[in-house]
Structures are given as structure tokens and as C-alpha cells.
Chains A and B, each alone.
Chain A
Amino acid sequence: MEQFLAVLIDGIIYSAWLFVAAIGLTLIYGVMKIVNVTHGSFYALGAYAAASITGALLAKGMPPSLSYVVLLGSALLVTLVVAPLIERGILRFMYVKDEVVILLITYALFLILEDAIKLVWGVSPYFIAEPYGLLGSFDVFDLTYPYYNLILVGVAIVCGVGLAWMLGRTRTGKLLVAVIHDTEVSRAMGINVERMYLFTFTFGSLLAAIGGAFTAPTVSVVPGLGVEVIVLSFAVVVIGGLGSLPGAALGAVIVGLVRSATIHFLPQVELFVIYLVMAMVLAFRPRGLFSIAEARKI
């Protein structure tokens, strides 16, 4: 019983992390049809900004309880500076090109941003462990979990529900849904698609940065942080179906739980189990679990 509960809790914590990391990727693909490799860079930027700003403020005597707000603020700050710069400065000139070309462009940007991160922050690790241990821990049978893990789950829920609410209930969201369905018709109906692209790219990148910022207290923030994330996020959104919000949620839960169960019961196969799940899903549902049916255009 204890072990099954541990599988469930560990799986949910990992799923929450994966979901926050992946949700922006699927949003950007849904609206802009871009497989955005710079997503990993924004995750890393969020982590670096959070670690350095929060660390500096804590060193200057900021009450540790405020650090959670600073984590969020750091992600917001770095995204609002960098994301519009990339979208307006580079990507908007590339939308006419093939999806594969844009993917390569975002990969090039990812490499550039990796080096830019090293230029700004250097290669030494950053740590801000205070927010992780500040809230204390709770016990489940014989296992101890920091309450901070619940914050991560909360952040995932807020991001998912917030995005669903925004898409379904707000004017901007409805305009975005229209763009997701058909860009050309949306443009013909008077929607400023370029503005929607800017908003989507910035908002999607912000979600990645939030993922990085709230992960920073639990890891060593080092160069290359975004590499692993982009691979895992891609696996999650492919399982769920590119562009699908419920798909990303289900993909994250499946990957999280399967990985957790594997670690507990069959650790030898942990290395490839995520990709095994992805392969199995794609074998039966080549466009993912929640792929959206597309009208054939003639």
C-alpha cells in the first residue's frame, strides 16, 4: 500500500513538473504551428533569473516567504524582455517558411540562447534551496515530502485551468481558438493574427519560464538545464497530440505515473520507458491521443 501510494505521489509530482514544462510548447504549436525548441531556453532562463534574483534578494534580507512571489516575478521579467524580442525580431519574418525550416530556426535560437546564458550567468551552478525547505514537510506512511511539492502541483493546476479558462472564456482566448482553427479565415475576419502570435509566443514562453523558476529551488541551476526539458516536453505533447491542452495534461500524467512505477518496481528500464510509451501511443494513434481532426483543404 505504502509503495503504491508512493508511486502515485511521485508520479503526480513529476507529472505536474512535466505539464508546466510542456503546456507552453503545445499552446505555441496549436496557435502558431511551430515546434518551438527555444521553449527549453525559456525554461532555463526562468530558472536562472529566479535563482539569481531570488538569491540576491534573500542575501539582502528579503523575508524568505516572499521568495515564491519573486520566483514568479523573475519568470515574468525575463520572458517579457526576451520573448517579444525573439518573436518580433526574428520569428515573424519566418512564418511564411515551411514548418521544418522554422523548427531549425528555433533550434538555432536555442543554441544561441544557451551561449547567451553562459555569457550572462557563467558556468558555475546557482542554488536557491530556501523556498524548497521553508514550508516544512508532511509524512505519508514512512515517506517524507516537502510541502513545496504541493506548490508545484498547484502551479500546474493553476496553469492548466487558467489556460483552459482563458481559451474558453475570454475574448483573447476565443480569438486564439479561431486562429488555431484557421489562420487565413481568422485574418479575413479581421483578427490581428500577428498580435495573436506575439501574445501566444510570449505567453507560451512564460509558462516555460514559470516551470524553470519553480523548479530552480529543487535543482542545481547549470548550463544545459533546458536540453533535457525540451526532449521530455516534446515526448509529452506528442503523446497527448500536438496542440492539445487536455492531451498535454494526459500525456504528462501517463509519463509521470509510468516513470514513477518503473522506478519503484523495475528501475532497470527507467532509461527508456518514456520513449517506449511514446512509441506505443504513436503506433496506435500516430497523431497523439487527443489529436484534433483537420479538415482537408483543397
Chain B
Amino acid sequence: MTTIKKAVAAAAVAALVPAFAAAQGAAAQGEAPLKIGVVSFLSGAAAGPFGVPARNAAEITIEMLNGEKVPAPYATKGFGGAPLQMQLVDEAGSTTTQVTEFRNMVQRDNVDIVIGYISSGNCLAIAPVAEELKKLTVFFDCGTPRIFEDRSYKYVFRTSSTATMDSVGAAFYVRDTIKGKVKSIAGVNQNYAWGQDSWSDFEASMKQLAPGVKVATSQMPKLFAGQFNAEISTILGAKADVVHSSFWNGDLEAFILQAGPRGLFKRGTVILTTGETAMYKLADHIPDGVVLGARGPYGPYAPDNALNKWFSKTFADRYNVPPNYAAYQMTQAILGTKAAWEKAQAANGGKRPSIDQVIAAFERLTFESPAGKVEMAIGAGHQAITETAYGVAKKVKGKMTVANVKRYPATMVNPPDGVKSADWIANGFKK
């Protein structure tokens, strides 16, 4: 063997030995990577305001968990020491496309857990398929309460609250902040599960909190319609005291741009239940006094805890914008799944848990997130409840902030376990 060959061989051995030792060590500790399918809008109208911030949140959360850089109680590597691998899937397209993509992830790509879905329509379509394929699936954002109210699922969890919380919270905010009697309300919501559920819960809640309130008009334009001149005219003509909108994505932004110059925001109280996603981008177009929701205690409503400091700083440093609620909810879903996984692993004597053990640990779990305490308290332990908050837009030295913030505890704005949202509201929010 020549000197050169010896040197090359020595170098190869030197390079391979540590790698081999590391692999042996990993195998000995049972730390095979966990493959997480992350589904979010990467294209289409929902990508910019929701999908991409959620994707970015998944990216930094998984990266930081693998690097053991997340504060306690999530300081351990990955899930129970197992590193995480992310497989991204675009949520754009029809529900049929999403079901196909879900099957591909599970059956072809063998992902261990699926975390995703912004659209309520997609969540309603995916849940039974997840059950059929026995794949642990965690919804992070979609809002329709129908998922766990119409059926029960073993493999499906949702770590954010439903649209009921947003609508009931908005109604309580109206009760607590508007002086005098609210005589009429109007709504402009997108015509599909999310918009319909949001409006029906808000309308029912207002009828409980302001008996005799009249519905001046309820507009239900098509999702992604983009043009709302006629709807705005109708609402202006209806002269309602309160206008409720659960618009999201490009529709929310278009509505703000079109409603502002027409004076809609000056004619009464306008509530945008997802307004937080547009509050910085469209700060110049949202006048003071517009009620902004964040679908929970996210963004400007997030608590001042160590996890939130870590998350908001890491996100803002990486992407040069503050995280919006979609980003918070994605990180919340990943951390909730980690908490369940590690609880199951601890109960399993430190060994890698089975999916059934993770599910058992996930049910009724209470965990911490950058948004505070999350309780898997309803939907037979599969549906989270959190507190929520609302406030009004207020510019301070040209910077958009929220003022007159009211916080509502989780049990005040979410139904008890086993009670449907509509029944709970109709019965006067009885606990």
C-alpha cells in the first residue's frame, strides 16, 4: 500500500468511526427519527397570511427542538430524544386533492404523525381518513366545531380552540365594551363551514347577551370572491350597530381595503375575528377602534412567558416579521404533540411509546405553549380549549397596537365536554 493510499484509508477510517459510533449510540438509545407530515397552504390566497407563517413556525420549532434550544418544559431533543424530520405538503387545492395527499403521506411516505390543516373544509374531509388509516393527526388551526361535535375520533386531535370561542368571545366583548343597547347586528362571512359556523355562533350568542337584537343583514359571499362592494353597500344601508366578520386570507385584506374608503369602519363597531393577521400589513388602512381578534391569546394577546419570549424573538429574528396567530397555533400543535409523546414515553419506562400510548397520553392533556395553558378538555379529550382575548386597533406613534383588551377564561367561551356549541349557547352558556 502506498503512503497516499494509507493516508486516504486512515482518513476514511477516522471519518467513519465517529459516524459509526454515533449511529450505534443512536440505535442503542432507540432514537430513530420521527417523520412529521406538516400540511399548510404554501400557495393560493391563504399562503401569505396563514400558510407560510405556519410553515415558518414549523420550520423553526422543529429545528429548535432538534437542537435542544426550546425553553423548559420542551428542552429535550425532538420528541423524547428522537430527532424530527419534516415533510411539507401544500394544502392548496380541493378537499379531494388533500385526501389524496394525506393518503400519500401515510401510505407511501410513511410519516409517523401528521400536523396541519388550516381550512375547516379540509379538516372535515381528513378526519375520517385519518381514522381509517389509524394515523395520529393533529389539526393546528381549522375552526369548525363540527369535527368533534358530529363524530368522535380516536386518532384525531385539535390543539387550538374552535370558531365557537372566537364568536362567543366577540359577543362578550361587544357586551362589555359597547355602551347602550345593541339593537342590530350584521355579518359578512365566507360561504362555507368556517364562515357559516362563525356567524351562527355569533348571532346566537348576541341573541343571548342582547335579547331582542335584530339581524340587519347576513352576507355570505363566496370564498376568495375578492370583490365586496355590493356587500359593503348592503351593510352600510342596514345601519347595524355591530358588524361581524370572520373573513380570513386575501378576502380579509380586500375587505379592509374596500371597506375603509367607504366609511364602514366609522359607522359602528366592526369586529374582525381574524384581524390580527392583517393588523401590521394593513396598519395604515385599519382605523383605531376596529375590534381585532387573533383566534385566541396569540400575537399581541400572548402572555409574557418564557416560551412566548423565545418563540416571538426567534420567529421575528428569522423572518423579520412578528409571528401571527397561525404561526403560534402551529408551534402550539407541535409542542402539544411533544408533550403527549414524552408523557407516554415516561409512562412506558423511557422507551419509545406506541401510537396508542401517545393517544392515551394526549387525551385530556394540559400543556404549556407560547400562548399559555392549553387544555385538551372537550371532544372527549381531543379538542383543546384556551382563553381568548379581544381588543381594538390603536396606533401609538405610528405603530399598530391593541388597546382596551379584554381576556375571557377558557371555560367562559368554550362549551363543556359533550355539549354541542349551538346547544350550549342556546342554553345561555351554562357550565
The proximity string for B residues 40-64 relative to A, scoring 1 for CB distances below 8 Å and 0 otherwise, is: 0011110111011000000000000
Inter-chain contact A228/B237, CB cutoff 8 Å = no
Within 8 Å by CB of B230, from A222, A224, A227, A259, lies A259
Chain B residue with minimal CB distance to A259? B230
Tell whether, in the assembled complex, residue A267 and residue B220 are in contact, meaning their CB atoms are under 8 Å apart: yes
| Complexed CA–CA distance, A142 and B191 (Å) | 27
A114 to chain B minimum Cβ distance, whole angstroms, is 8
Closest to A269 in B: B220
What separation, in Å, do the CA atoms of A259 and B236 have in the docked complex?
18
CB-contacts of A245-298 with B (<8 A): 259-260, 263-264, 267-268, 270-271
B218 interface residue, CB < 8 Å from A? yes
Q: How far is the CB of A137 from chain B (nearest CB, A)?
A: 6
Task: Name which residue of chain B comes closest to A134, CB basis.
Answer: B261
A-B contact count (CB 8 A): 135
Interface size of B as a range:
35 or more
CA distance in complex: A125, B258 (Å): 16
Contact A137 B220 (CB under 8 A): no
Residues on B with beta carbons closer than 8 Å to the beta carbon of A133: 260-261
B224 touches A10 (CB 8 A): no
Could you tell me if A3 and B230 are in contact, using CB atoms closer than 8 angstroms? Answer: no
With A10-B233, A220-B254, A222-B250 as known contacts, state yes or no: A132 contacts B261, CB within 8 Å: yes
Among A13, A17, A129, chain B packs the most CB atoms within 10 A around the CB of A129
CB pair B45 A6 closer than 8 Å: no
Q: For the complex, is A2 an interface residue (Cβ under 8 Å from B)?
A: yes
Is B220's CB under 8 angstroms from A219's CB? Answer: no
Q: Are B230 and A123 in contact (CB under 8 A)?
A: no
> Nearest residue in A to B55 (C-beta to C-beta)?
A123
Chain A CB count within 10 A is highest, among B222, B230, B250, B284, for B230
- Nearest chain B residue, comparing its CB with the CB of A141: B237
Asked whether, in the complex, the Cβ of B43 is within 8 Å of the Cβ of A224, the reply is yes
Q: Is B288 an interface residue (CB 8 A)?
A: no
Q: Let me know if A267 and B257 touch, CB within 8 A.
A: no
- A124 adjacent to B237 (CB under 8 Å): no
* Of A64-72, A80-88, A143-151, A233-241, the one with at least 4 CB within 8 A of chain B: A143-151
Residue of A nearest to B218 (CB): A267
Closest A residue, CB atoms, query B266: A144
Give min CB distance, A75 to chain B, whole Å: 18
- A60-103 with Cβ < 8 A to chain B: none
Contacts of B48 in A (CB 8 A): 123-125, 220, 222-223
User: Is B262 touching A137 in the complex (CB atoms < 8 A)?
Assistant: yes
List, in ascending order, chain B residues with CB within 8 A of A219's CB. 226-227, 250, 253-254, 257-258
Asked if A271 contacts B285 (CB within 8 A), the reply is: no
Q: A132-B261, A218-B257 are in contact. Are A142 and B236 (CB under 8 A)?
A: yes
Q: State A3–B222 Cα separation when bound (angstroms).
A: 22
Q: Which of chain B's residues 217-232 have a Cβ closer than 8 Å to chain A?
A: 217-222, 224-227, 229-231
User: Provided the pairs A125-B48, A144-B262 are in contact, do residues A220 and B257 lie with their beta carbons within 8 angstroms?
Assistant: yes
Write the chain A residue with the least CB distance to B53.
Answer: A124
Q: Is B281 an interface residue (CB 8 A)?
A: yes
Q: B30 on the interface (CB 8 Å rule)?
A: no
Contact of A270 with B257 at beta-carbon distance under 8 Å, contacts A125-B250, A223-B45, A260-B230 already known:
no
Query: How far is A9 from B231 in the complex, measured between Cα atoms in Å?
Result: 12
The answer on a CB contact under 8 Å between B219 and A263 is yes
| Interface residue? A107 (CB, 8 A) | no
Any A CB within 8 A of the CB of B234: yes
Check if A127 is an interface residue, CB within 8 A of chain B.
yes
A10 & B45 in contact (Cβ 8 Å cutoff): no
What chain A residues lie within 8 Å of B226 (beta carbons)?
219-220, 225, 228
Cα-based distance from A270 to B191 in the complex (angstroms): 10
Q: Does A19 contact B (CB under 8 A)?
A: no
Complex Cα gap A220–B224 (Å)? 10
| In the complex, B9 has a CB within 8 A of chain A | no
The listed residue (A129, A137, A225, A227) touching B285 by CB distance below 8 A is A129
Task: Fill in one digit per residue for A29-72: 1 if any B CB lies within 8 Å of its CB, else 0.
Answer: 00000000000000000000000000000000000000000000
Complex Cα gap A145–B49 (Å) = 28
CA distance A268 to B236 in the complex (A): 18
In the bound complex, residues from chain A placing their C-beta under 8 Å from that of B234 are 6, 263-264, 267
> When A224-B224, A271-B220 are in contact, do A146 and B262 touch as well, CB less than 8 Å?
yes
The answer on a CB contact under 8 Å between B261 and A263 is no
Of B230, B233, B282, which is within 8 A of A127 by CB? B282
Known: A125-B281, A146-B262. A6 touches B233 (CB 8 A): yes
A118 within 8 A of B: yes
Inter-chain contact B237/A2, CB cutoff 8 Å: yes
Chain B residues, Cβ within 8 Å of A7: 230
Nearest 6 A/B pairs, CB to CB: A220-B253, A123-B47, A10-B230, A220-B250, A263-B230, A124-B48
B residues neighboring A (CB under 8 Å): 42-45, 47-49, 51-52, 92, 191, 217-222, 224-227, 229-231, 233-234, 236-237, 239, 249-250, 253-254, 257-258, 260-263, 281-282, 284-285
